[in-house]
Each structure stands twice: as structure tokens, then as C-alpha cells.
Amino acid sequence: ETGVTQSPTHLIKTRGQQVTLRCSSQSGHNTVSWYQQALGQGPQFIFQYYREEENGRGNFPPRFSGLQFPNYSSELNVNALELDDSALYLCASSLGGEELNTEAFFGQGTRLTVV
């Protein structure tokens, strides 16, 4: 059991709306990363948060934004939703900083459908 929890598990939104996805990291982990996984593809990196600061970003537009809270939980916000944003959104928890060889643990994902 990984201890990483995501909410909600499923979500349907209309094009143009905004959405917030949530992730609780595993106890003792200070780093949260978000990934987007389209059907039949591998997960694509959106961004990472380490100790409440953004610590790297993938090739996603600024309408994808995030937050990390003092308890290391995190939010992913997507504005002006587009049909192509429909995907499984995955949150990964790890111990970052000087620990480079640590294992990443994933939540069960949030399935977002944009109609």
C-alpha cells in the first residue's frame, strides 16, 4: 500500500471550465510530481513540487498550475479545459532533495473527461 491518495477518482467537466485535482503524499515524503497519461501512452511529466516550491516543469501550458501545502499535499489546477485534457492524471510521491535514488509511489489517479 503506497499511502498516496488522489481525489476525486473520476470527474466530468465541460470545455472551458476549470478543475482542481488533489493529492496527499505518502508520510515522510516531501516531493510531489504530477503526470498526465493519455490512453495507450506512458505518463507525461507536468511538474514537480519540492517543499512547497515548483521544482521543474514539463512541456505543458501555463493553464496547468499547482500548489504544494506545508503538509506536502498538492493540488493540480487546470484552467480553460480543452477536449485534449481528457486523460488519467497521476500524482507521485517521493523523498526529494539530496536523496536522488529514491522510489516514486503513485496514487490511483483521477480520470478527467472533458466534454
Q: Is 112 in the site for other proteins (CB under 8 A)?
A: no
Beta carbon nearer to other proteins, 5 or 20: 5
Segment interacting with other proteins, rule: CB under 8 A, options 1-9, 14-22, 64-72, 76-84: 1-9
Query: Is there a contact between 98 and 39 (Cβ–Cβ < 8 Å)?
Result: no
Instruction: Identify which of 8, 22, 35, 12 has the alpha carbon closest to the alpha carbon of residue 77.
Output: 22
Q: Which stretch binds other proteins (CB under 8 A): 14-22, 42-50, 62-70, 73-81?
A: 42-50
Distance separating alpha carbons of residues 114 and 57, to the nearest angstrom? 23
Residue 45 binding other proteins, by CB under 8 A: yes
* Angle, alpha carbons 38-56-45 (nearest 5°): 10
Interaction between residue 28 and other proteins (CB under 8 A): no
The site that binds other proteins (CB under 8 A) totals a number of residues, namely 30
Residue 8 interacting with other proteins (CB under 8 A): no
Asked if 50 is part of the footprint of other proteins (rule: CB under 8 A), the reply reads: yes
Q: CB–CB of 26/33 below 8 Å?
A: no
